[in-house]
């Protein structure tokens, strides 16, 4: 599996606070201004 993918999963399970923003940044959805639910 990709290291980035694993990091996203870990972040999601650790906490939905900063993790969500970190994941969004990694996914590149921040350019939309909001993370898709």
Give every CB contact of residue 27 below 8 A, 6+ residues apart in sequence.
8, 35
Task: Give the model's pLDDT for residue 6.
Answer: 76
Q: Encode 5-22: b = buried (16+ Cβ within 10 Å), e = exposed.
A: eeebeebeeeeeeebeeb
Instruction: Tell me the per-residue pLDDT of 1-37, one tens digit each, with 9 for 90 and over.
Output: 566 777 777 766 766 556 677 777 777 765 665 655 5
Asked if residue 7 lies in contact with residue 26, where contact means CB atoms within 8 angstroms, the answer is: yes
């Amino acid at each position: 599996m990709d290291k980035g993918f694993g990091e996203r999963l870990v972040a999601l399970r650790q906490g939905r606070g900063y993790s969500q923003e970190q994941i969004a940044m990694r996914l590149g959805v921040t350019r939309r201004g909001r993370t898709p639910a």
